[in-house]
Structure 1
């Protein structure tokens, strides 16, 4: 799909609060995100993710990684069900995030003090880092990572902005897990 068409569809879905299925791609990675676009800038979108007819957390997605925007008969059916189930009433931005650039995004998310998940889904790099956002640099962020047992690393993990394909925050997984962290 051409970039102009992607931008137009993102605008439409954002302004009309329509359910959307996004195909994201970077290098050898391809993935799907579904939900509602709550805000958009020239370079990023703020998506409230949905899955199994539930509203989940928030994702910041670079527009350059979006290769297709879909709202076909299947998606229209999901949208109708979400509406009839009252789930669409839960769709809202609880946090104001400045989508100008990665630095403004990181500053606003850091101010929430929420746990984040930073991902590079490219097969050769493939990183997943969950933890508290500790530092914001010109070209990267540093996160106090915790592992699958809830043990915090002693040192922060650095992620370059150029490698991030998705930054998630205020989702159930991260919020619940963060209550059980240990040194």
Structure 2
């Protein structure tokens, strides 16, 4: 599938509540997305998984292997049970890596940065936005903050995820529990 075809199909989905099945070079699985925005480099989507929406993602168009608009019973069920009512476009500028991370930093949410090729998963808060990298104040699976932020080159990022069940649950409890980083909880 040519890049122009991919972008046209993605654009056809914007504002329609049509689901798009997307396959990426680095994953054998496919994903279902509601498409909010696309340009020649990035797509901003909202994930649909088994009749719920589960956060937003930004991925690279260049990593997209193939895609197809899904117009079947599952898509119609999503409309009937109100899943499409939760399809809302976030205020995130996808013009460049810098605009993406500046937009996300304003949201003050935990984000997940993935480098699927190197099996890296980074979760935390945006600390610094550079010309060709981002630094994330990261915590581990036990809820312990790393001493130093983790630096990730933009060229290595395969996805950015936020407002999904995983990241919002962590954020909720980090905000409620007193830690050295949050002494007033």
TM-score (norm: length of structure 2) = 0.89
User: Which of 75, 82, 104 is 1:86 aligned to?
Assistant: 82
Q: Residue 119 of structure 1: SS of its match in structure 2?
A: strand
Task: Tell me, yes or no, if the aligned pair for 1:34 and 1:49 is still in contact at 8 Å.
Answer: yes
Task: Tell me, yes or no, if the aligned pair for 2:7 and 2:39 is still in contact at 8 Å.
Answer: no
Task: Tell me, yes or no, if the aligned pair for 2:23 and 2:66 is still in contact at 8 Å.
Answer: yes
Corresponding position of 1:158: 151
Task: Tell me, yes or no, if the aligned pair for 1:45 and 1:63 is still in contact at 8 Å.
Answer: yes
CA distance in 1, matches of 2:53, 2:172: 21
CA distance in 2, matches of 1:36, 1:121: 22
Corresponding position of 2:142: 149
CA distance in 2, matches of 1:78, 1:13: 16
CA distance in 2, matches of 1:179, 1:92: 21
Corresponding position of 1:16: 16
Task: Tell me, yes or no, if the aligned pair for 1:118 and 1:166 is still in contact at 8 Å.
Answer: yes
Corresponding position of 1:69: 67
Q: Give the deviation of 1:31 after TM superposition.
A: 4.3
Q: Give the deviation of 1:30 after TM superposition.
A: 4.4
CA distance in 1, matches of 2:114, 2:140: 15
TM-score (norm: length of structure 1) = 0.90
User: Which stretches of structure 1, 4 residues or more, deviate above 6 A after TM superposition?
Assistant: none
For structure 2, the residue ranges without an aligned partner over 5 or more in a row are 181-185
CA distance in 2, matches of 1:46, 1:31: 19
Task: Tell me, yes or no, if the aligned pair for 1:25 and 1:31 is still in contact at 8 Å.
Answer: no
CA distance in 2, matches of 1:172, 1:145: 18
| CA offset digits 1:83-129 (Å, max 9, x no partner) | 11111011102x3111101100000000111100000111xx11100
Over the aligned positions, Cα root-mean-square deviation in angstroms equals: 1.5
CA distance in 2, matches of 1:48, 1:132: 20
Paired residue total? 176
Corresponding position of 1:49: 47
